[in-house]
A = this chain, B = another copy of it.
Amino acid sequence: MDASTYSKTALILVDPFNDFLSEGGKFYPLTKETVEGIHLVQNLKKLIAGARERKIQIIYAPHHHTAEGDYLNWRFLSPSHQGSKNVVLFEKNSWGAEFHPELLAAKGDLIASNHWTGSGFANTDLDFLLKMHNIERIVLAGMRANTCIDSTARYGVELGYHVTLIKDGIGAFNWEEIRVTVETTFPNYGHAMLSTEEFLNTPMP
C-alpha cells in the first residue's frame, strides 16, 4: 500500500453477514473454526477503521438474500445455489442477512448490488461503482476464501484492477480452503498479498 494511491483504492468487504460471522448464523457451525481461529471479525474491524482513517473507499459486495420463489424453474443449480436454497441462506429481511453488527456500513460507504453466485462483480454494479469513484486498486476481505473471495479477485484482475488480498482477512469452511487460496491460487494471478497488520502499518495521509 502506497499513500499516494489511497484515493484510487477501495476496500471490498465480501459477504460479512451474520449467517457467516455470528454465533447463531446458519453457516456458523461450518465457518466458526477459521473465523474464530483467525480472529476474522476483529481483523475486519481493524481493516474498516484503517481504511476510514486513510480515506480509502469502503464498498460492500453482498450475496443475494434468499427469498421465496428464488431458483424456481432455473435450468440448473450450481452447488452454491443449491446450498443457499437448502438452508435459505441470508434469508431476506432476516438477521442472518444483516451485516455483522460490528461491521456495519457507514455514511459514504457504497453497497454494490447483490451477487447470485461467487464473484462480487458478476451480474452486479460493482465494476461500475468502482469506475465512477475512480478506483484502480481493490483490497479484498471477507467470506469465503475459495469461493466468493477467489472469484471476486479473479474478476478484479480480468477487469483491469490491481488486486490485493488480505491473507488473514478471509474465512472459510476449513483451513485447507484458506491455505489453497493464499498459496495455490491467488499468487498466480493477484498483484499483492498483505496481512491486516501490514495494511495498518501503511502510512497515514
Question: Residues on A close to B: CB < 8 A?
Answer: 69, 73-76, 78-80, 107-108, 113-114, 116-119, 122-125, 127-128, 131-134, 136, 146-147, 150-151, 154-155, 157-163, 176-177, 180, 184-185, 187-191
Report yes or no: A177 in contact with B184, Cβ–Cβ below 8 A.
yes
Contact of A160 among B79, B128, B154 (CB under 8 A): B128
The complex places the Cα of A146 from the Cα of B154 at a distance, in Å, of 11
Q: For residue A189, give the distance in angstroms from its CB to the closest CB of chain B.
A: 5
The complex places the Cα of A146 from the Cα of B114 at a distance, in Å, of 26
Report yes or no: B134 in contact with A187, Cβ–Cβ below 8 A.
no
Cβ–Cβ < 8 Å partners of A78 in chain B: 157, 163, 189-191
Cβ–Cβ < 8 Å partners of A132 in chain B: 74-75, 160
The complex places the Cα of A118 from the Cα of B162 at a distance, in Å, of 15
Report yes or no: B124 in contact with A123, Cβ–Cβ below 8 A.
yes
Report yes or no: A133 in contact with B177, Cβ–Cβ below 8 A.
no
Closest chain B residue to A184, Cβ basis: B180
Report yes or no: B107 in contact with A188, Cβ–Cβ below 8 A.
no
Closest chain B residue to A74, Cβ basis: B132
Report yes or no: B75 in contact with A146, Cβ–Cβ below 8 A.
no
Report yes or no: A185 in contact with B185, Cβ–Cβ below 8 A.
yes
The complex places the Cα of A190 from the Cα of B155 at a distance, in Å, of 17
Cβ–Cβ < 8 Å partners of A189 in chain B: 78-80, 117-118, 147, 151
